[in-house]
Structure 1
């Protein structure tokens, strides 16, 4: 089935507040925020368990690896289920699974590594199944004219939780023990599961869903999503660029930034400053892109993605710490100037009946290859030296989006040549 994409227009009230005043979207936004808090808090709580000697560093690594494995295994399955069944039902069961499994992590902490890792895998599976369903729910709940602002509000929630979760966890740790904190993260999954609204009566704002047909295997249905993604050359090129940037630039800076902060500058303040600057830049980027409508949205978004190259480049050169922080600020700004138009274009261009599967392919490759990058970067630095690796990663970050910009439809993230500039500036 092929649908006609609906371009964004200016027929509804503008501004992020108008989106958050929509009760249905507010419920969805609150649910996504709660799931984000639970997702980001869990590693910090387990880290506190290591400090309390309730968990060994090896046990922490196993638990986080199990959670990642569960996430990656559930993303494609969740995408298929979210296209087969009502998306809010998929979020409900995925959220409840994560909520019920979290206390088992607490029960296994320091007692049974098998129970703890198995429960962590279920929590990760809940997270993975939620991601494509939330993405598709946004397209169902929000009309096309406000979707870019809705995606900006969703990504703002992600960045705010990135800032809030570690500090809030540290504050709560002064009052509660680790097992209680784990139970709190489990409770956060309840609003994530229960709050998402049903789509409007009749056709959703995303357009009519694909008609029900004979039930086929998961693999066949996921392959249908891959074929839909391949129908959009700009999507495949952009996904390749995003995956390259995350697997190289993001992974390299994740490994190199602590080392450079310690060995070159002799203080952890550079690590903290750069990390904070990145999140601040991402917050600013989300606020800007909520209103900004470049005439060539795809090219502008890919230029934002290329800005991540400044992060490894700043670690390569002996510059003032403020330059490192500034580079990370630009990287954070650029990543959101890419993310929001990317999500919005995917929701606009992809067949609504295949949207969750295409979104799951996005998350599977872009996030799934990040751990691979982290594993390979450290040996590469030992073999070739960190300056050579950082230089190569910076080059990939600059060149991959530039190459993606040459793909058909990349100018406006659309197969239609007239979609590059359909949205008026506001």
Structure 2
């Protein structure tokens, strides 16, 4: 028999806003991030160990990214049409099978490049359907004025698992080999899918019959374009994410090799960024800025610092400090952004808006990575890095000219059926919470 003291103890351990769905989602995210971060490293080593070169590694990475971009909008529309947890479980099942097949190929022989590209593409397809459903499910599982704290804790758990997964994956590759790390990732998807199968969607209103997938996508597009703060920030990050990727994934290792003493210092800087994301989530567990997007957008300016630091280049300790600050800043933006979406977007459209958000965030990343080399040849590495910093500063300053970005204000209760017009300057965005 449960005593009142036992009930009180459980409540003390788990805050009121951390309900059953939220707890399951967070636990599943930790499991998948532990496996997936190591698997990304393992996939690259699997390509190299099979006789491939850096170009082949890029082809496998592109094979994962292309279907992710192609199917995101379909995934978002499907997740708003079907029970989201079923879409998530189906996507996890596809990832489990594709990673299991990848592991089997690596463990039993030398996999062909086309096989690895095909399996990476299946993984990207699963991600395309999973991500909008996951974000919509998370936002519908949190309510009240503690949503920001819930999102901060969720992101902190994910980032912490990702840091640990990358470190553990690297160690296990050295001891067991890339194939076993891919197999572990397959099992992680299996466990996460099982956890997500227990999510309760009874609180989500039944979806009304619509006019089909294209009608759903058009409806989501109208929701997206009808909110200036939404499309302005997504457009900003389409470029910001692209130039950050070019600076940190392409130029960073080159600067480390030529100026900083090799991969070790760059690894330290990336680890400092990871620590900063955890620190930023801790900040957002306590800080609840009233003007959500103003605080979030101001925190984007520090993202220009790593490119500038690499252009100088800064000594290792200073670069690590810059990367730590950048990690803190991006979490302040991330939590503020999720809170704004949770507050302003109707529940039944969350996954479609999430899909447009994801598409904007990653759509230009492959192009930027491909153009980084030609840009270095044309302008020089230092000028290209300064150009990355300048683009981030200019775009962030431009976003701050959008009135809704400056005025969107935190409310204590989520609006679940606000019309698109409520995002205008005269609408709910400008009202105090």
Instruction: Work out the CA distance in 1 between the residues paired with 2:17 and 2:209.
Output: 36
Whether the 8 Å CA contact 2:17–2:146 is kept in 1: the answer is: no
How much does 1:73 deviate? 2.3
Instruction: Work out the CA distance in 2 between the residues paired with 1:327 and 1:163.
Output: 18
User: What are the Cα deviations for residues 6-46 of structure 1, in whole angstroms up to 9, with x where unaligned?
Assistant: xxxxxxxx999526853321111111222323332222112
**1:32 corresponds to:** 29
Whether the 8 Å CA contact 1:342–1:413 is kept in 2: the answer is: no
Deviates more, 1:412-421 or 1:314-323: 412-421
Runs of 4+ aligned structure 1 residues displaced above 6 Å come to none
Instruction: Work out the CA distance in 1 between the residues paired with 2:79 and 2:13.
Output: 27
**2:101 corresponds to:** 104
Instruction: Work out the CA distance in 2 between the residues paired with 1:332 and 1:58.
Output: 29
**1:148 corresponds to:** 148
The correspondence for 1:212, drawn from 204, 208, 217, is: 208
Instruction: Work out the CA distance in 2 between the residues paired with 1:69 and 1:15.
Output: 45
For the residue of structure 2 that corresponds to 1:409, the secondary structure is helix
**2:202 corresponds to:** 201
User: What are the Cα deviations for residues 62-100 of structure 1, in whole angstroms up to 9, with x where unaligned?
Assistant: 322211122222321210110000000100111111111
Instruction: Work out the CA distance in 2 between the residues paired with 1:257 and 1:38.
Output: 25
Q: In the TM superposition, what are the counterparts of 1:98-177 in structure 2 within 5 Å? A: 98-109=95-106, 110-177=110-177
RMSD: 2.5
Whether the 8 Å CA contact 2:229–2:405 is kept in 1: the answer is: yes
Instruction: Work out the CA distance in 2 between the residues paired with 1:421 and 1:163.
Output: 39
The correspondence for 1:404, drawn from 399, 404, 419, is: 399
How much does 1:276 deviate? 1.3
Whether the 8 Å CA contact 1:15–1:290 is kept in 2: the answer is: no
Query: Aligned residues, how many?
Result: 405
Q: Do the aligned partners of residues 150 and 65 (structure 1) sit closer, same or farther apart at CA in structure 2, a change above 3 Å counting?
A: same
Structure 2: runs of 5 or more not aligned:
1-10, 410-422
Q: In the TM superposition, what are the counterparts of 1:216-235 in structure 2 within 5 Å? A: 216=212, 218-235=213-230
Whether the 8 Å CA contact 1:69–1:124 is kept in 2: the answer is: yes
Q: In the TM superposition, what are the counterparts of 1:270-349 in structure 2 within 5 Å? A: 270-349=265-344
For the residue of structure 2 that corresponds to 1:144, the secondary structure is coil
Whether the 8 Å CA contact 2:50–2:111 is kept in 1: the answer is: no
Whether the 8 Å CA contact 1:104–1:115 is kept in 2: the answer is: no
Instruction: Work out the CA distance in 2 between the residues paired with 1:386 and 1:180.
Output: 38
Deviates more, 1:378-387 or 1:414-423: 414-423
Whether the 8 Å CA contact 2:36–2:165 is kept in 1: the answer is: no
How much does 1:121 deviate? 0.9
Instruction: Work out the CA distance in 1 between the residues paired with 2:232 and 2:301.
Output: 14
Q: Do the aligned partners of residues 357 and 257 (structure 1) sit closer, same or farther apart at CA in structure 2, a change above 3 Å counting?
A: same
User: What are the Cα deviations for residues 359-390 of structure 1, in whole angstroms up to 9, with x where unaligned?
Assistant: 01111111222121111122101111112211
Instruction: Work out the CA distance in 2 between the residues paired with 1:409 and 1:344.
Output: 15
Deviates more, 1:226-235 or 1:32-41: 32-41
Instruction: Work out the CA distance in 2 between the residues paired with 1:295 and 1:421.
Output: 11
**1:92 corresponds to:** 89
Instruction: Work out the CA distance in 2 between the residues paired with 1:293 and 1:138.
Output: 19
1:67 is aligned to 2:64:
yes
The correspondence for 1:251, drawn from 241, 246, 255, is: 246
For the residue of structure 2 that corresponds to 1:169, the secondary structure is helix
Whether the 8 Å CA contact 1:90–1:133 is kept in 2: the answer is: yes
Instruction: Work out the CA distance in 2 between the residues paired with 1:231 and 1:16.
Output: 42
User: What are the Cα deviations for residues 142-174 of structure 1, in whole angstroms up to 9, with x where unaligned?
Assistant: 113222122112211331133112221133235
Instruction: Work out the CA distance in 2 between the residues paired with 1:221 and 1:358.
Output: 11
For the residue of structure 1 that corresponds to 2:404, the secondary structure is coil
Q: Do the aligned partners of residues 17 and 384 (structure 1) sit closer, same or farther apart at CA in structure 2, a change above 3 Å counting?
A: farther
Structure 1: runs of 5 or more not aligned:
1-13
Instruction: Work out the CA distance in 1 between the residues paired with 2:134 and 2:83.
Output: 11
1:360 is aligned to 2:355:
yes
For the residue of structure 2 that corresponds to 1:293, the secondary structure is coil
Instruction: Work out the CA distance in 1 between the residues paired with 2:256 and 2:16.
Output: 41
For the residue of structure 2 that corresponds to 1:145, the secondary structure is coil
Instruction: Work out the CA distance in 1 between the residues paired with 2:52 and 2:17.
Output: 41
